Amino acid sequence: MTEHASAPPPLRRTLTTGRIEAGSEQERKLRALWETPPGWRGWLSTVDHKSIGLRYLVTAFAFLIAGGIEALIMRVQLARPNASFVTPEQYNQLFTMHGVTMIFLYALPVLSGFSNYLWPLILGARDMAFPRLNALSYWIFLFAGLFLYASFPFGEAPNAGWFNYAPLAGLTYNTGPNIDVYALGMVLLGISTTVGSMNFVVTFLRMRAPGMSLDRVPVLVWGTLTASGGNLLAVPSVSLAFFLLWLDRRIGTHFFDVVNGGRALLWQHLFWIFAHPWVYAVVLPAMGIVSDALPVFCRRPLVGYLPVALSTVATMVIGFVVWIHHMFATGIPALALSFFGAASMVIAIPSAVATFAWIATIWTGRPVFRVPFFYFAGFVFLFVIGGLSGVLTAAVPLDWQLTDTYFVVAHLHYVLLGINVFPVIGGIYFWFPKFTGRMMSEKIGRIGFWILFAGFNIAFFPMHIAGLLGMPRRIYTYAPDMGWTTVNMITSIGAFMFAAGVLVFLCDLFYSLRRGPVAGDNPWDAPTLEWSTSSPPPPYNFAIAPRIASRHPLWEKRIAGTMRSQLEYGYVLDQGREALGTTALDGEPDVILKMPEDSYAPFWLGVASLMLFAGLALTSWWLTAFGLVACGAAIVVWLWPRRELGQRDDTAHAPRSGAPS
């Protein structure tokens, strides 16, 4: 797939049965073709998936820290009754921005960072299908986050909760710019999510290594693919909701204005049709991390690969028919309650399939107790607790009692924080050698894990009790005679312990970047393709296109000695930036794809989009018009055709050359 207008002519292709050695003339040619120039120009123009993936990870962790600081301020306020550490309006903005940050600016982007970095390496490709779209998705994500946070210093941050229910978010009850910033920021962020998801889907369909049929795709790829497909269906719903809300507030329409014929529940339907599948979008790639990395430390393949892959897809499919379980208390008819309540319980089945597969893998394997294993095992424990509390809220009568209490807050944090953060940190420990060429500390990592694990459960498990005691969500303070003082104090202590665990992890990470032991190419003896490259990988990923013959290419000889090694032969693509395209089902060589060079266009299109949305937020029509024109100019530069030089090679072994769109 290309992102420019010209279709390249056929070029010379070579089929080799050997390897291209590091430092050889051919390897230096590939490095020169793919390497990003140093300095700020390269930093702004790179389309390398590895650089973009690391940027996603770093930026998402910066937002995690921001969201964590907001949470700690709230826990100081709630630690004792009748506290006045912040004002009610400040508290509204804090809990809103905390939710927005953790759910939209951390949870999915951090997983996009893993997938952006790892997908081409795991799939045996040289880059994502659309490298420039990949860069654009990051820049828009960054600018959308900055756009949302720009209102914070002025005391005008979003303040109606991350769910932003109408009519409380309407102009009648919320006259400041707070909600306008949130609405436009979410539409901007939706653009990033959509283009990134399209990129993942096409990469999966067309960029897998020869021999990587559908039944050989790693589970991490299935998790991200399923999340991306869900995002393509769900994000338009929430983008429409926020756009209609902005029209109500700025243009005078009445989509959610009940007094003038609008429907307040329309907001909830549009929002939760998106937000419930989004829960699985931030869980399924994390489950994929565990499904691929946990077996490495159990010294055996994952038990039940096919059921786990199918359960991954089934979870997202069922997730689209359970959104009303967030609306059980809104007066929905009894028949709908019974249907959606049953569906909310059924969705526990595919999750249970994955859970039993992880437990069976540990039970039947020979576990090696390293730091990543602790995080993955801790994830399984938290996954069970979060899943069980979710099944409880699927029971309609019980949900009527628990809705809008701290029981739901506890469930939400076990699902969105525990089930996300633990695989993410475990994944960083696991792939840090591939990212940097160095190992992280085993001793510091274990200390950090136990602080983090204990702090998480001390912080969030008592919230179940607070909810059962009747403590409602989103309250600024409470009276001393309510009986909530002890559980809130314990929760606040646990929150600071959890923050200390994150701090220990970050200290280990920064220390290991400079002084960690040299890792080698495959320090964990892992089976997937990314570990067949050097650490860190070269700019071109693979000198020759690898061919695989099983689900575990680096374990092939020990699992079945008759299978060939995955790198015995492949196509050498060195006539410009090229990648091998394969068929969607069987992964057979099909086409040679011309990949785009580095470009400033994604960065400038991101800047222009930011100006456009800033103009809409400020009702500055000249800035809006300037941003719109700048967007058009950036797109023209992006798509400007270029001349390609090459010559035909009629070798029988060569796949056809082209640039399908």
Contacts by 302-308, CB closer than 8 A, 24 or more apart: 302/219, 302/357, 302/361, 303/357, 303/360, 303/361, 303/364, 304/353, 304/356, 304/357, 304/360, 305/219, 305/551, 306/215, 307/353, 307/357, 308/219, 308/353, 308/354, 308/357
Q: Are 630 and 600 in contact (CB under 8 A)?
A: no
Name residues whose C-beta falls within 8 Å of residue 230's C-beta, 6 or more positions apart in sequence: 277, 278, 280, 281, 316, 319, 320
DSSP 553: G
* Domain definitions of the chain by residue range: 50-515, 607-633
The answer for 311, left when phi > 0, alpha when psi is -120 to 50, beta otherwise, is alpha
- Residues 319, 325, 328, CA angle at the centre, nearest 5°? 165
CB neighbourhood size of 522 (10 A): 17
Q: What residues have CB less than 8 Å from 109, skipping those under 6 apart?
A: 56, 59, 60, 63, 141
pLDDT lower than 50: segments of the chain: 1-2, 4-12, 561-568, 645-661
Cα–Cα distance measured from residue 58 to residue 50, given in angstroms and rounded to the nearest whole number: 12
For residue 20, what are its two tokens?
């291209």
What Cα–Cα distance (Å) separates residue 458 from each residue in 229, 327, 447, 610?
36, 29, 17, 41
Which pLDDT score, from 0 to 100, does residue 562 have? 39
For residue 528, the model assigns a pLDDT of 93
**Domain 50-515, second-level architecture:** Up-down Bundle (1.20)
**Euclidean distance between the first and final Cα of the chain, in Å?**
6
The whole-number pLDDT of residue 651 equals 36
- What distance in Å separates the CA atoms of residue 488 and residue 642, rounded to the nearest whole number? 63
CB-CB contact of 9 with 646 (8 Å) = yes
